A = this chain, B = another copy of it.
């Protein structure tokens, strides 16, 4: 890949002044003596981190923006847990300009003190829960000993690297949807028209932002969005949508419910004249995909489906000129 620049920046966020915080005495430098630390004062809160990869000769003037899911960071798009190139690498090899986000509260975006700034404590996702919520195997199939785990027999997830995957997870808060959406808006204010690819919670945010800013979002790709706006879209037509769905829904009541809500929203969109395409992988004879489509063993093939769909769109072809 021939890159002109690798850049990063923060968007959104505000200054918060903390008071009535403890003064503590702790050692901070290697081998030094403890020192007084006063935690009263100003901090940044609610910012989002963005890492940008800008091509020397981009394949399109329209950048791709990658939004991870809940309790995750932009690392999801990088090397897979078992060491294969991730979607980021393939997209850069194809010549796309790409922005990868760490959403508010996660990874390099940092997080704010609780209960002082965010009222609740964060949630730490266990491997036990993830094993079944990510549809890698049945709930009873998880075991602390990797050798004793039971995955679905046709699972495409790199399950031998599941513990490495767990290294990517970060704590999450359930009350930060509004400030997260505010940061995504600020990103679009800054970079302008783009294509958004969102996974899970990030897919739900992508659907919401596409409805709010149809002029800035030229197309949306939602990988197993876990949610969707629950109000009827107001305008007649929105940018084209593509959703991808993996396998294992028939055994998973919660995922069936999540998906039903998204399908209701998609039907609203279609009724208004918006193009909504869906790739239901098992219906195409492709079995065993988990919730993490971009990490599964056919991730590169799935990405090629996405980029074929994108490059077929009139709006993307028009932008290329």
**B31 with A229: CB separation less than 8 A:** yes
Take A18-B126, A226-B32, A229-B31 as given contacts and tell me if A167 and B6 are in contact as well, using a CB distance cutoff of 8 Å. Answer: no
Q: Are B43 and A124 in contact (CB under 8 A)?
A: yes
Q: Which of A105-113, A239-247, A295-303 contacts B (4 or more CB under 8 A)?
A: A105-113
Within 8 Å CB of A6, what residues of B? 1, 53, 78, 88-89, 92
B108–A102 CB distance below 8 A: yes
Nearest chain B CB to A128 CB, angstrom units: 4
Q: Does A234 contact B (CB under 8 A)?
A: no
Q: Residues 16-30 of chain A: 1 if any B CB is under 8 Å from the residue's CB, otherwise 0?
A: 011000001011111
| Pair A28/B254 contact, Cβ less than 8 Å | no
Let me know if A284 is at the binding interface, CB within 8 A.
Answer: no
Quick check: A113 and B123 within 8 Å, CB to CB?
no
Chain B minimum-CB-distance residue to A70: B28
Given contacts A15-B144, A29-B204, A226-B32, contact A127 B41 (CB under 8 A): yes
Is A307 an interface position by the 8 A CB rule? no
Give every chain B residue within 8 A of A30 (Cβ-Cβ).
177, 201, 204-205, 208, 226-229
Select one of B51, B124, B229 contacting A18, CB under 8 A.
B124
Instruction: List 12 contacting pairs A-B, 8 Å CB cutoff, sorted by A.
Output: A6-B92, A7-B79, A9-B164, A15-B163, A32-B261, A41-B126, A41-B128, A42-B144, A43-B125, A49-B167, A51-B78, A110-B170
